Structure formats: C-alpha cells, structure tokens
Structure 1
Amino acid sequence: MWERTTSGELLATGSTGPAWRTDVTTVNGSDYILTTSCDTTKFTLNFLIIIIALVGVAGNAIVLWLLGFQMRRNAFSIYILNLAGADFLFLCFNAVHSIQVIISMYRSIFISGFFNVLFNFTYLAGLSMLSAISTERSLSALLPIWYRCRRPRHTSAAMCALLWTLSLILSALQAEACGTFFNGFAHGWCKRLDSIIFAWLIVLLVVLSGSSLALLLRVFCGSHRIAVTRLYVTIALTVLVFLLFGLSYGIYWFLLDWIEELYRVFPCNVFEISAFLSCVNSCANPIIYFLVGSIRHCRFQCQTPKVFLQRALQDVPEEEEGAERGSSRKSGELETV
C-alpha cells in the first residue's frame, strides 16, 4: 500500500516495514547535481515559508483581535473573522512543518503525516469562507430587498459553523481512509474520498467565480448599476489574490495527488512551491484589508488599524461616506461652539 507524505514522496508499507521511495536513486553524475539542487531549493522555500508565515500570523492575529473583541460584527465581518482564523491556522501549521523539514535535512526526525489533515482542513475552510463571502455580497447586490427583509439574522454564523464542520469531516475521513491515522480502509475508499473532496473544491471554485463575476457585471454593466464600495474592493482583491496564489495548493493536493502519474512530469519540491504560494495568499489578506481601508485617507500617523479595518468593511459608496464624515465633523464643531 502506498501513502503520500507532505513532501510528495511515496511511502510503501508492507510486512517488512516502511520503506521510502525517492525520485533520485543514485548519487552519481547528474543525479547528484539534481539532488543538491532540489535540497537547496527545498531549504530556501521552507525558509521563505517560515518568514512569510510569521508575518501572516501577526497580520491575521490583529484582524482576529479587532473583529473578535474591538469591533461590532455584521454579516460580512463574521465571514472575514472566520477567514482570518483559517488563514491563521494554515500559516501556523505551515511554519511548524517547514521548521521540521529544515531540521530533518540535517538531523533525522519524524515528520507526522497528520500535517496533511491540518493543511487540507484549514485550506478547505478558508476557500469555503471566501466563497461564502462572495456569494453573500452578490446576493445583497442582486436581491437587495430579499437580503434586507427576508434573510435570517444568524445566517453568517450558522454558515461558518457548517463550513468548518464540513471541512473537518472531509479532511478527517480522507486521512482515515488513506491511512494517515491508522491502517486505513481499502484503497478504493481513499480514491472515492479524494474524488468527493476534489468535486467539492470544484463546486467552491465555481461558486466563487460565478458570484464574483455576477457582482462584477452588476457593478459595471446594466442599467441598474451599483456603486463601488470599499467592501466590494476588499472582496474583489481577496478573490483575485486567491486565484493567483492560493489555488496552487488545491491543484497540488487534490489533482496531482489524485493522479499520481503526474508527479513524474513535474520537478522536485512541487509541494514547497504550492505551500509557499498559498502562504503568500494567506499573508496578503490582512494587508489587503488595511490597504483598502487607507485608500484616500493616508494619515497613518493619526489612524489606527481598527479604523482602517472598519473602512475596508464599509458597504457604503464613497460619496455617502464622505457626507457622513462631513456631517459628523460639523456636528462636532457645533457642539464645541
């Protein structure tokens, strides 16, 4: 029976015990050069993952603190809070795993396959939250009357809890079926669960792309256009960054791992490359929130991250936002007089 490790290697288990099979079986000539090049790339990518993960963990921790304890939550901020939580956990697990990988290059240590479950769980949760955010914003733009009057009050919290639970169940079942926890089920169950998770990923991507496209058309096309708000810019940039960077991890684990023959086509350290790009995506989300919140208000010495995050989640047009600030400033002046 073959099992896949987080480094993309195959682990054969049999009566004589486990045995590692690597892509390079000799250390002569070009094979030695290839091994040295792969080890150098592996060390560099894992070191960069640690650096980016630490920055992303700090950024997402600030978002979690502000949305969880310092700001009043609404329908969209609940999704952003859960997305930051998924990104925070994904970056933490990647940092710990990369530290272990670097240590294992110089000293023999055991790297648990349980990291597969943690990576898949947090990745699925993050993608699910992003799809839910985009869908919710599209519904609010396409069906404004229904959204304001008929939408259940606790939809966001219930949906987040459901998505977290579904992601955990799918990841745990795949790990059990493929032998991460114990001996696993039959090989057919592993393939079936891989197919189910891959289909779920496709559904999430279709929902994410479709809702984002519908919202884009609603903003720029048609006779009943809606004004661009900071919340729309925040969601659009977050989706764009995910498609550019975060999608690579899903392609690696749920397409290349599903079709094992494709490993021979791609170079070494494909996992490190996909993990690095996904860490860039998770690290970029807090930066997007604070940058969008600071647009046209570049007074960094006077403003706080809380103010920037509040502005990034505002769903009112720029003109109304300016009018509200002007009226509040005038009322403040009258009070002082």
Structure 2
Amino acid sequence: MTEATPTNGSDEYRPPICDIDSLTPKALTFVISLVGLTGNASVIWFLGFRMHRNAFYTYILNLAVADFLYLCFHMVNVLKEVISVISTIHSPTYGIITSGKIIFYIAGLSMLGAISTERCLSVMWPIWYHCHRPRHTSAVICTLLWALSLVLGILEAVFCLYFYITEGLCKIVEFTIAAWLVLLFVVLSVSSLALLGRMLRGSQKKLLNRLFVTIMLTVLVFLSSGLPFCVYFFLYYWINNSYHVFYCLFLVSSVLSCVNSSANPIIYFFVGSYRQRVQRWNLKLVLKQALQDTPWEGEIGGSLSQGTLEMSGSRVEQG
C-alpha cells in the first residue's frame, strides 16, 4: 500500500487530455484524418488517372499514397480505441496498426526527401539534369523507397512486436529505423537550404515559381508537424521515462503527424489558386498550376497554356 500511494497520487495530476480514455484527441485525429483522406484521394485520382505523369508528378503521387494510407491506419486506430472504451471486445491488431503507421510514415518522409533532392539537383546542375538523367528515375527511386519502408516496418513488427526474442535484435532494428529517419531529415534540410540559398541570390530570383513554393511549404509543414513524431519514436525507444509522459507526447505527435499528412493537398490548392482567376473550381487545373515550373512573372491573368503548365521534368521522363 505504501508503494502504490505515490503512483496513484501522480496519476491524479496527469492532464485530463492525456488520459488513455480521453476522446478529445481521438476525435481531433479522426476529423483531421477525414479531411486529409479526402484531399489525398483527390490528388491520387488526378495524378494517377487524369493527368500525364512526369518526374515530379510521380513523386507527388507516391507521397499522396503514403499520406493516404498513413491516415487510414490512424482512423482505424481511433475507431479501435473508441470501441475498446465502450466495449470489452479485444482485437489483437495493435501490432498491425503500429507497423502500418511506421511503414507509411517512413515512406512519406522518404518521398519528400526525394522530391527536395531531385529539385535541388535540377536547379544546381540543370544541364546534367535535363541531358544525362536516366529515364524512369522517379519510378525506380519510388519503388526502392517503398521496398525499404516495407522491410523496416516488417522487421520492426517481427523483432519488437510479435516475435520478441532478444532485446538486442529489437534495438538493432530500432537503431536502423532511427538512423534512416535522421539521414532523411539531414538530406531534406540540406537540399531545402541549398534551394533557398540559390533562390535568394540576386541572379537566381527567377527560380521563385509555384513548384519551388509548393516544395518549400511542404518541407516547412513537415518540420513543424511531421518531425515531432520522429522525435517521439527516438525518445520512446532510447530514453527511459514515465509512461504517462510518453503517452502525452505520443498524442501530441500523433495529431501533428495527421496534420502533416493532411496539409499537402491544402498547400497544392493554395499555391495553385493564388493570383489565379479561375472561372470555376477546377481542381485539375489548380493542381497543375501548383506544380508548374514557370516563374510567377510569366503568368498573365490566370490563363496558362498547356505548355507552361507542364514541368521541366516532362522533358526528362515520361510516365
């Protein structure tokens, strides 16, 4: 009884929103995920079936797929937790949901790093990029990134969730995932800073176009909303602390990661419709304008020809 008193006393001062049965963060996650699913589904529909894909379109499509599936697992997790609160039914799906979220979080960050890196290469070395870049590079890179994300997620599920044998194997897997996430963060930061520095140079201000703004806003949203989940992942497996502290951190990072996965379609709509006089709400046209690689000054009255709407990547890779 004397040992249980401090624990119970500390639980009384835990913030109500951090309680495991609190429905507030679950409802917020559900609403944000629902909005994000609608937006990412629209992007997948237009880029996958209604528009001719090129180098950057392929990356954006795969990023939308990763965000869509990540939000799907979040919604399933919320529904599972709500059912567990109001019912005593036990469903052994925790490992599947956790592994799925890890897989698609890694895939989304990997696609974002690839987008920023390839855009940086196209700006820093434009001649090589347009003349010597291999065909179908985007498709090959996306396939490799999906395969790596699946392998890391499956290994994490096997050695840390379902078939836990030794702590050493689990730590190796977690260290590999953490190292890959850190590497992606470094690549994303370096390439984004290089793009920003090149654009701020007086002779390179013409690089300020809708594609540049779209990429920079996407990176900025990730650093503010998606990065906390990566920090939580590292702290949870490598630093011993109170369970309730980590649960509060998990709730905050989980909601922010949903914001990150839901924000990209909103960014596309904002950038694509800015300073444009569109007669009707044409989502396909707005998406094209958000990903175009022409300077802001080249736009006249919001009426753009098909040639100016296509990115320079279409000269490098078809499909």
TM bucket by the smaller chain?
A: 0.7 to 0.9
Whole-Å separation in 2 of the counterparts to 1:103 and 1:26 = 31
Instruction: Say which of 240, 261, 275 aligns to 2:254.
Output: 275
Closer, same or farther in 2 for the Cα pair 1:128/1:194, shift >3 Å?
A: same
Whole-Å separation in 1 of the counterparts to 2:5 and 2:262 = 37
Whole-Å separation in 1 of the counterparts to 2:113 and 2:40 = 19
User: SS state of the match for residue 266, structure 1?
Assistant: helix
Q: Contact 1:125–1:163 at 8 Å: present in 2 too? A: yes
Q: Contact 1:231–1:315 at 8 Å: present in 2 too? A: yes
What aligned pairs does 1:316-331 form with structure 2 within 5 A after superposition?
316-322=294-300, 325=303
Closer, same or farther in 2 for the Cα pair 1:28/1:294, shift >3 Å?
A: same
Please, which moves more after superposition, 302-311 or 316-325? 316-325
Whole-Å separation in 2 of the counterparts to 1:324 and 1:303 = 13
Deviation at 1:320, TM superposition (A): 2.9
Give 1 or 2: higher helix fraction.
2
Structure with max Cα Rg: 1
User: SS state of the match for residue 251, structure 1?
Assistant: helix
Greater length-normalized contact order (CA 8 Å, ≥ 6 residues apart): 2
Whole-Å separation in 2 of the counterparts to 1:327 and 1:67 = 19
TM-score by length of 2: 0.87
| Residue matched to 1:217 | 197
RMSD of the alignment, in Å?
2.4
| Residue matched to 2:105 | 123
Deviation at 1:319, TM superposition (A): 2.7
Alignment pair present for 1:142 and 2:142 = no
Alignment pair present for 1:202 and 2:165 = no
Deviation at 1:39, TM superposition (A): 3.0
| Residue matched to 2:80 | 100
Q: Contact 1:53–1:92 at 8 Å: present in 2 too? A: yes
User: SS state of the match for residue 135, structure 1?
Assistant: helix
- Unaligned stretches of 5+ residues in structure 1: 1-23, 329-337
Whole-Å separation in 2 of the counterparts to 1:37 and 1:210 = 37
Q: Contact 1:41–1:269 at 8 Å: present in 2 too? A: no
Alignment pair present for 1:308 and 2:299 = no
User: SS state of the match for residue 19, structure 2?
Assistant: helix
Closer, same or farther in 2 for the Cα pair 1:118/1:229, shift >3 Å?
A: same
Closer, same or farther in 2 for the Cα pair 1:69/1:188, shift >3 Å?
A: same
Q: Contact 1:60–1:85 at 8 Å: present in 2 too? A: yes
Deviation at 1:266, TM superposition (A): 2.8
Whole-Å separation in 2 of the counterparts to 1:225 and 1:84 = 29
Closer, same or farther in 2 for the Cα pair 1:269/1:319, shift >3 Å?
A: same
User: SS state of the match for residue 165, structure 2?
Assistant: coil
Closer, same or farther in 2 for the Cα pair 1:248/1:41, shift >3 Å?
A: farther
Deviation at 1:106, TM superposition (A): 2.3
| Residue matched to 1:156 | 138
User: SS state of the match for residue 118, structure 1?
Assistant: helix
Tell me how many residue pairs correspond in the alignment.
301
Alignment pair present for 1:257 and 2:250 = no
Q: Contact 1:289–1:309 at 8 Å: present in 2 too? A: yes
- Unaligned stretches of 5+ residues in structure 2: 307-319
Please, which moves more after superposition, 129-138 or 258-267? 258-267
| Residue matched to 2:269 | 290
